[in-house]
Chain A
């Protein structure tokens, strides 16, 4: 095959093409969206794969493990990204993770209003660890997406997304902040619980500890 510029090729239309031009515009011009890779596309498969990923994420949060095979989950996610369904998968993952984080915080807020100090911190850290583990597992499951789809489409990588969701919850209300500051004050600086909380905050971002403790 000649890779160099082929001279003298004029855009000539065959007679048949010429006739067709007047008939109408092709599908994508008429506003219909041509869907890529029709032959290998099975909407049901993709919907199922998305469901399974969502379910797996909620299992990660609920029990720190799943009954499904990692290699199957991984392969499903891989196929979705391969056949250009990365956006759907990503948003499904984002929604699932956000709602899981929210329900974690809801139980935290519901369970501990009476408890103060140490119990609150312990609970908070336990939930944080649960979250970190779940994010790690989610990333292992969706590793292919994190490697390919995420950078080319300038999405937030999964690990960072996990941190952001947690940070948003942590800094969302004044009530939580006051409770946290109160609890930390009561424990004093040299406590290991406080150290763990501090570690969590530095992981969340360099400005997060300042947000809480500047005014202490």
Chain B
């Protein structure tokens, strides 16, 4: 979570008279540690909710009363919980069955505003296009144009709402410019900023131009009357975000631009759509008061064939880069077979890992990882290791230690394409480390998803190891999965030596028996503050699977604690025996 939800929500309050008391519940909230999505939403247990969403729960699922989680959050007036669900992609359009119920149930105006502002929003982008779009919109001229477009677009009110809810580019000074552009286009004197790599990856036309005419240019001015500013802006925005948004008036012009840029699939779709739009007027009801200048056409990447989408385009670039990356004994200067296609990969950064030098692109690394952004911005302030190689190539060279070239290559694959082709389970641990270290948190989920099938056949001892690892690296999906297994097969694990040894090194379960009461009806017992204690979570899961109901639940909990104690004693004895 990169922004405090409360801060943004406050912006929504501007026109709504609200008691400050509405924001704080009058009754203390109760945690629902074992609850599902619906319970967590109803109880406003945001930690639980975050965990469930992280693990990949379906936000639009219905329970047996045919209600979605968002409905409960609205009904109970939990704006925070509602916001989390909406951000995870919960449907809230007023015309759908679920959306209508949410609007109807919303406890206060604030929630209605929240629902309305999210209704205007297109579905969330995948991490890669989202990151690149942020970089594109962070360029000052692009951002200005974007805000202007928001102001001018059909519903100025909707735009204001969208901006208030944080869909617009964030005005956060710390991310003022994610990564500076290296080329600026001018159409009618209006600028569009961009990065060469992205343009080259998406269009053969730009690739050719950047190799020839525009090789050393910092700006290019189009004086051609046939190109509109809006069309070019939409096209370049599409190159970054894989989502096309264009004013209907600009569509014909854009189709022509696509033809020049050799984006054939996109052009085909646009041509069809232009033909369709000609007759749309007659088909639609006349009363619609929108005039054409305000209508916009939106195209999602899914409508394009796979090879025309952003990940495939970047994958091609990455492959060239990897082919050029090599084991560099960089004292072998005489190797005159310097990669011939050095120009081809457009690399503007070398990263040395182990004894391999990778060719990469600053804009991609900086967009995807805050670590690399800082690293690239701070090369002057912190001492960097220099070597002759760097001077020879006139490009920056960073060195990364404590990881293998293979893991780094995997990480690059993810950074450029948002996916991994295949994964060796032995590599998973290092990838979790890499994902945490470089702040590439979505990578953890990808690795976890690929690892899960392997865990089905893993022995209890291996599962114990993965439990520890997933706890360290915060891979909630794996951690939950293994805790479930342990809780349901507790006796098998109790008989495993590795599990008992694990008990010794884990932090002890929190609290005393008396404090730890699981009596469910006591609100205000805000739960333990010590979050993420494995044994606490395990007890919770075990009680869910094996424990008795209601009054006897505490007895079951005590039983479980006793059992843990004895297992620990066994483990201590075993440890002593081993030393002897």
Say which residue of A39, A66, A70, A148 sits within 8 Å of B375 (CB atoms).
A70
Say which residue of A28, A75, A83, A153 sits within 8 Å of B508 (CB atoms).
A28
B225 at the binding interface (Cβ < 8 Å): no
On whether the beta carbons of B473 and A82 are closer than 8 Å, the reply is yes
On whether the beta carbons of A82 and B436 are closer than 8 Å, the reply is yes
Convert A141-184 into 0s and 1s, putting 1 for each residue whose CB lies closer than 8 angstroms to a CB of B.
00110011001110000010000000000000000000000000
Interface size of B by CB at 8 A reads 54
On whether the beta carbons of A36 and B507 are closer than 8 Å, the reply is yes
Say which residue of A33, A137, A147 sits within 8 Å of B378 (CB atoms).
A137
Say which residue of A16, A73, A153 sits within 8 Å of B570 (CB atoms).
A16
Binds B, one of A17-25, A93-101, A117-125, A189-197: A17-25
On whether the beta carbons of A9 and B436 are closer than 8 Å, the reply is no
Which single residue of chain A is at the shortest CB-CB distance from B566? A17
B268 at the binding interface (Cβ < 8 Å): no
Contacts of A6 in B (CB 8 A): 488-489, 491, 545
B65 at the binding interface (Cβ < 8 Å): no
Say which residue of A3, A17, A69, A82 sits within 8 Å of B384 (CB atoms).
A69
Q: Closest Cβ of chain A: how far from B61's Cβ, in Å?
A: 19
Which single residue of chain B is at the shortest CB-CB distance from A25? B565
A4-B488, A21-B566 given; A152·B374 CB < 8 A: no
Residues of A58-94 contacting chain B, CB below 8 A: 64-75, 78, 82-83
Contacts of A83 in B (CB 8 A): 472
Residue in A33, A34, A73 whose Cβ sees the most chain B Cβ within 10 Å: A34
Contacts of A148 in B (CB 8 A): 436, 474
Contacts of B567 in A (CB 8 A): 17
Once bound together, how far apart are the Cα atoms of A193 and B405, in whole Å?
A: 52
Say which residue of A3, A26, A82 sits within 8 Å of B569 (CB atoms).
A26
Say which residue of A13, A17, A33, A143 sits within 8 Å of B374 (CB atoms).
A143
A9-B491, A151-B1 given; A75·B484 CB < 8 A: no
Once bound together, how far apart are the Cα atoms of A144 and B507, in whole Å?
A: 23
Convert B33-66 into 0s and 1s, putting 1 for each residue whose CB lies closer than 8 angstroms to a CB of A.
0000000000000000000000000000000000
Convert A22-61 into 0s and 1s, putting 1 for each residue whose CB lies closer than 8 angstroms to a CB of B.
0111111100011111110000000000000000000000
B400 at the binding interface (Cβ < 8 Å): yes
Contacts of A73 in B (CB 8 A): 382
On whether the beta carbons of B506 and A69 are closer than 8 Å, the reply is no
B205 at the binding interface (Cβ < 8 Å): no
On whether the beta carbons of B485 and A9 are closer than 8 Å, the reply is no
On whether the beta carbons of B546 and A9 are closer than 8 Å, the reply is yes
Contacts of B468 in A (CB 8 A): 37
Interface size class of A (residues with CB under 8 A): 35 or more
B329 at the binding interface (Cβ < 8 Å): no
Q: Closest Cβ of chain A: how far from B69's Cβ, in Å?
A: 22
Say which residue of B439, B531, B565 sits within 8 Å of A26 (CB atoms).
B565
Convert B63-79 into 0s and 1s, putting 1 for each residue whose CB lies closer than 8 angstroms to a CB of A.
00000000000000000
Contacts of A114 in B (CB 8 A): none
Residues of B331-384 contacting chain A, CB below 8 A: 370-371, 374-375, 378, 380-384
On whether the beta carbons of B569 and A1 are closer than 8 Å, the reply is no
Residue in A2, A66, A73, A147 whose Cβ sees the most chain B Cβ within 10 Å: A147
Q: Summarize B's interface: helix, strand, loop or mixed.
A: helix
Contacts of A65 in B (CB 8 A): 380-382
On whether the beta carbons of A34 and B439 are closer than 8 Å, the reply is no
Q: Closest Cβ of chain B: how far from A71's Cβ, in Å?
A: 7
Once bound together, how far apart are the Cα atoms of A2 and B463, in whole Å?
A: 13
B269 at the binding interface (Cβ < 8 Å): no
B399 at the binding interface (Cβ < 8 Å): yes
Contacts of B383 in A (CB 8 A): 66-69
Convert B493-509 into 0s and 1s, putting 1 for each residue whose CB lies closer than 8 angstroms to a CB of A.
00000000000111110
A5 at the binding interface (Cβ < 8 Å): yes
On whether the beta carbons of B531 and A144 are closer than 8 Å, the reply is no
On whether the beta carbons of B569 and A21 are closer than 8 Å, the reply is yes
Once bound together, how far apart are the Cα atoms of A39 and B506, in whole Å?
A: 12
Q: Closest Cβ of chain A: how far from B132's Cβ, in Å?
A: 20
Contacts of A216 in B (CB 8 A): none
On whether the beta carbons of B485 and A144 are closer than 8 Å, the reply is no
B124 at the binding interface (Cβ < 8 Å): no
Which single residue of chain B is at the shortest CB-CB distance from A74? B371
On whether the beta carbons of A17 and B569 are closer than 8 Å, the reply is yes
Convert A103-147 into 0s and 1s, putting 1 for each residue whose CB lies closer than 8 angstroms to a CB of B.
000000000000000000000000000000000110010011001
Contacts of B384 in A (CB 8 A): 69-70
Contacts of B546 in A (CB 8 A): 5, 9
On whether the beta carbons of A1 and B489 are closer than 8 Å, the reply is yes
Contacts of A21 in B (CB 8 A): 565-566, 569
Once bound together, how far apart are the Cα atoms of A136 and B460, in whole Å?
A: 45
Which single residue of chain B is at the shortest CB-CB distance from A28? B508
On whether the beta carbons of A70 and B382 are closer than 8 Å, the reply is yes
Say which residue of B1, B473, B485 sits within 8 Å of A1 (CB atoms).
B485
A3-B488, A6-B489, A137-B381 given; A71·B401 CB < 8 A: yes
On whether the beta carbons of B508 and A20 are closer than 8 Å, the reply is no
Q: Closest Cβ of chain A: how far from B200's Cβ, in Å?
A: 29
B559 at the binding interface (Cβ < 8 Å): yes
Residues of B535-580 contacting chain A, CB below 8 A: 545-546, 559, 563, 565-570, 572-573
Once bound together, how far apart are the Cα atoms of A137 and B379, in whole Å?
A: 12
Q: Closest Cβ of chain B: how far from A136's Cβ, in Å?
A: 8
On whether the beta carbons of B566 and A20 are closer than 8 Å, the reply is yes
Once bound together, how far apart are the Cα atoms of A135 and B546, in whole Å?
A: 51
A69-B383, A74-B371 given; A2·B505 CB < 8 A: no
Contacts of B472 in A (CB 8 A): 37, 82-83
A3-B488, A16-B570 given; A70·B374 CB < 8 A: yes
B15 at the binding interface (Cβ < 8 Å): no
Q: Closest Cβ of chain B: how far from A58's Cβ, in Å?
A: 15
Contacts of A66 in B (CB 8 A): 381-383
Once bound together, how far apart are the Cα atoms of A34 and B508, in whole Å?
A: 7
Contacts of A137 in B (CB 8 A): 378, 381
On whether the beta carbons of A75 and B381 are closer than 8 Å, the reply is no
Q: Closest Cβ of chain B: how far from A16's Cβ, in Å?
A: 7
B171 at the binding interface (Cβ < 8 Å): no
Residues of B454-502 contacting chain A, CB below 8 A: 456, 458, 460, 463, 468, 472-474, 484-485, 488-491
- Seed contacts A11-B559, A69-B382, A140-B374; 10 additional CB < 8 Å A-B pairs: A4-B488, A5-B488, A21-B566, A26-B572, A27-B572, A33-B508, A34-B508, A73-B382, A83-B472, A137-B378
26 A–B contact pairs at CB < 8 A?
A6-B491, A11-B563, A13-B563, A16-B570, A24-B569, A25-B565, A27-B504, A27-B568, A28-B508, A34-B506, A36-B505, A36-B506, A38-B505, A65-B380, A66-B381, A69-B382, A70-B375, A70-B381, A71-B400, A71-B401, A83-B472, A143-B370, A143-B371, A151-B1, A153-B531, A159-B174
